[in-house]
Amino acid sequence: MKAFLAFLKKEFYHIWRDPRSLLILIGMPMVQVILFGFAITNEIVDAKIAILDNSKDEVTQEISNKILSSKYFKLFEYLTDKNQIEKSFKKGKIKIAIIFENDFSQKLNRNENPQVQIIADATDPNTATTLINYVSSIVFDYQSKYLKNKSGGLNVVSKMEYNPGLKGVYLFVPGIITVILMLISAMMTSISIAREKEKGTMEILLVSPIKPLMVIVGKVVPYISLALVNAVTILLLGVFVFGLPIRGSLPVLMLEIIIFIITALGLGIFISTKVETQQNALLVSLMGLLLPTIILSGFIYPIESLPEILQYISHIIPAKWFLIILRDIMIKGTEFRFIIKETLILFGMMTFFLIISIKNYKIRLE
Amino acid sequence: MKKDSGNYIVEVENLTKKFGSFIAVDNISFKVKKGEIFGFLGANGAGKTTAMKMLTGLLNPSSGKAIVAGWNVETNPDKVKLNIGYMSQKFSLYDDLRVNENIRLYAGIYGLKRSEIKIKINKLIGELGMENLRKKLVGDLPLGWKQKLAFAISLVHEPPVVFLDEPTSGVDPITRRQFWEMIYKASSEGTTIFVTTHYLDEAEYCTRASIMVDGQIKALDTPENLKNRFEVDNMQEVFVKLARG
């Protein structure tokens, strides 16, 4: 125990004595949350729009007004001719153009299905899709109200549950927590163990009476604390700066976070048993852990939109399950009993990675 | 069970290590007397490091037996670890820890009491003449100082035997000379020194020296006897004669 405490103290020295890394470790998560929260957002505000209204009657006027009065669009110009559309796009001035055909309201009255054409600049497909959805929903909205006044007809009422404001932060904060925890826990432990190997101090430790398990635990404890500090910082930022809710149980949330941290630490130790230098440790963690965590976890790209093969691969990415759990607890306020499956999967992964990493670490001694 | 080892601190019998079909250490047997400076010589790749790793518990022997400080390295590695000191050729210390913190760390790892550690730190730093460097980070020390500190730390728990793996590689002749004075001092205080080196002039400083070639010990005697036996003036030539077969 005394040996362990001496070792643990040394680990904290390593962290404190490296202010640059410490600054990155503590500062990076905050910068990321703020960047993602403020700068990178899915919401589109004031997209420039051009309208070509060939009928100029009360219906097209009303639809145009509805579109322009929403915060999403800002009128760039009214067009008078089809040929102007191309030019307007080319100049990069507008993101979307709307064309109403002739005699719009008469056709509507005669049930002839007049056409509204929406043309979007798809150089950025995500923005284009979003804008088209905005316009379509406004048009449908008008249509359903119009039909309701005339006769019966269908009426669609939609509600964006859990995130009525469609805030991007709801999506990003859990994602950033996932990435940061993976980064700190796995990358930093693997680098820190690889450093001992590279400098030759691992050899001295192996010859000394300190137990290998104690070495691993000693490596892991400082990073668990650091990762927890980070998780709490990000949560606080999310809640108090961006108004993110934590609707579910906080203790359950913390428990899940700890399970995920230990999973990542297990991965980090596993990586360190396979590499000899800090550089390799860094490279393997970045390529092997960070990229899949970002791409295959559902953080940035919805898993449903991935190619089928990647969807299968995403099942073995711990971050995917953790992200589901995080979003469920924080945004939906899901009770623990509904996320037992995901928790068990994550717990299984944690156990698996811990066992193989400790096993591999021991084999190196023989 | 602890074996009463009589006059010997290291006893090796038919020790062999195979990696696949490659035999790194081939059936070696030797004994190291208590208190002597035992030189373990050989070219790079002769098997010194592998043999040393087996004696320090880093590697398991493929066959044969080794008793170190009275304990079998295979069956009681933990006991062996408590009773040996080890210094690697990289003088591995923690660069981002201060001199006193490095000593405290290893003293702690070897289970010294808090009060003992304090006394030990002061004693070691005094003996090394490092009072002014006490609070300095080890990474800022010149190589020679690191080497001395690494040696002192390998003795922090006062082990009966200390293993030095090429302890003088990469340092200048004067520092090497000073280092050997430290070795003599430790030896005079009763610590057995087991040292590998490829500086053959250093073999002259040993009480006895063994020379390993291709995994086998080809000669083991006092430097004086070895030189007489091969009818040469220095250990360098003894080595060349042996290595050529």
pLDDT (tens digit per residue) in A231-243: 999 899 888 988 8
Q: Which residue of B has its CA nearest to A1?
A: B111
Rounded to an integer, the average pLDDT of A52-71 is 89
How far apart CA B155 and CA B53 sit, in angstroms, is: 18
Rounded to an integer, the average pLDDT of B166-174 is 88
Percent of chain A with pLDDT over 90: 30
Instruction: Quote the pTM value.
Output: 0.79
Q: What is the pLDDT of residue B120?
A: 94
Residue A257 CB neighbour total at 10 angstroms: 23
Q: Which residue of B has its CA nearest to A9?
A: B105
Answer yes or no: are the C-beta atoms of B74 and A190 closer than 8 Å: no
Q: What is the pLDDT of residues B153-166, one digit of tens each?
A: 999 999 999 999 99
Rounded to an integer, the average pLDDT of B172-177 is 90
Answer yes or no: are the C-beta atoms of A290 and A183 closer than 8 Å: yes
Partners of residue B88 in chain A, C-beta under 8 Å: 200, 203-204
- Minimum-distance CB partner of B81 among A2, A201, A209: A209
Report how far Cα B85 is from the mean position of its chain's Cα atoms.
Answer: 8
Determine the topology of domain A47-150 in CATH. abc type-2 transporter like fold (3.40.1710)
Element (H, E) at B113: none
Rounded to an integer, the average pLDDT of B186-212 is 92
Range of the domain at B73: 8-244
Rounded to an integer, the average pLDDT of B49-54 is 91
Q: What is the pLDDT of residue A273?
A: 87
Annotated domain spans of chain A: 27-40+167-363, 47-150
Instruction: Assign B23 to helix, strand or coil.
Output: strand
Q: What is the pLDDT of residue A24?
A: 84
Indicate whether B118 belongs to any domain.
Answer: yes
pLDDT band at A105, cuts 50/70/90? confident
pLDDT band at A109, cuts 50/70/90? confident
Q: What is the pLDDT of residues B218-243, one digit of tens each?
A: 999 999 999 999 999 888 888 888 87
Q: What CATH code is carried by the domain that includes residue B23?
A: 3.40.50.300
CB contact under 8 A, A365 and B105: no
The residue that leads in pLDDT, B13 or A169, is B13
Nearest Cα of chain A lies from the Cα of B32 at a distance, in angstroms, of 20
Partners of residue A365 in chain B, C-beta under 8 Å: 58
A122 has a pLDDT exceeding 50 = yes
A158 has a pLDDT exceeding 80 = no
Q: What is the pLDDT of residue A366?
A: 44
Q: What is the pLDDT of residue A150?
A: 65
Q: Does the CB of B52 have a partner CB in chain A at under 8 Å?
A: no
CB contact under 8 A, B56 and A207: yes
How far apart CA A189 and CA A363 sit, in angstroms, is: 19
Q: Which residue of A has its CA nearest to B109?
A: A3
CB contact under 8 A, B109 and A6: yes
- Interface probe with A: pick from B50, B96, B156, most Cβ of A within 10 Å: B96
Q: Does the CB of A209 have a partner CB in chain B at under 8 Å?
A: yes
Rounded to an integer, the average pLDDT of A48-69 is 90
How far apart CA B102 and CA A107 sit, in angstroms, is: 88
Q: What is the pLDDT of residue A40?
A: 63
Q: Does the CB of B58 have a partner CB in chain A at under 8 Å?
A: yes
Residues 6+ apart with CB under 8 A from B24: B17, B18, B47, B50, B215
Q: Which residue of A has its CA nearest to B98?
A: A13
CB contact under 8 A, B94 and A14: yes
Mean pLDDT of chain A: 86
Q: Number of residue pairs across A and B with CB atoms under 8 Å?
A: 74
Q: Does the CB of A20 have a partner CB in chain B at under 8 Å?
A: no
For residues A5, A10, A15 and A19, what is the CA-based torsion angle, rounded to 10 degrees?
140
A365 has a pLDDT exceeding 60 = no
Mean pLDDT of chain B: 91
- Minimum-distance CB partner of B92 among A2, A203, A365: A203
Answer yes or no: are the C-beta atoms of A28 and A168 closer than 8 Å: no
Q: What is the pLDDT of residues A165-222, one digit of tens each?
A: 667 778 888 888 898 888 888 988 899 999 998 988 988 998 999 888 888 889 889 9
Q: Does the CB of A362 have a partner CB in chain B at under 8 Å?
A: no
CB contact under 8 A, A10 and B101: yes
How far apart CA B63 and CA B222 sit, in angstroms, is: 28
Of A97-111, A153-167, A243-257, B137-151, the range with the lowest mean pLDDT is A153-167
Q: What is the pLDDT of residue A41?
A: 62
What ipTM does the predicted assembly reach? 0.89
How far apart CA A95 and CA A108 sit, in angstroms, is: 27
Phi, psi (deg, nearest 5) at residue B103: -65, -45
How many folded domains does chain B comprise?
A: 1
Q: Does the CB of B82 have a partner CB in chain A at under 8 Å?
A: yes
Q: What is the pLDDT of residue B6?
A: 76
* Residue count (chain A): 366
Percent of chain B with pLDDT over 90: 73
Q: What is the pLDDT of residue A87?
A: 87
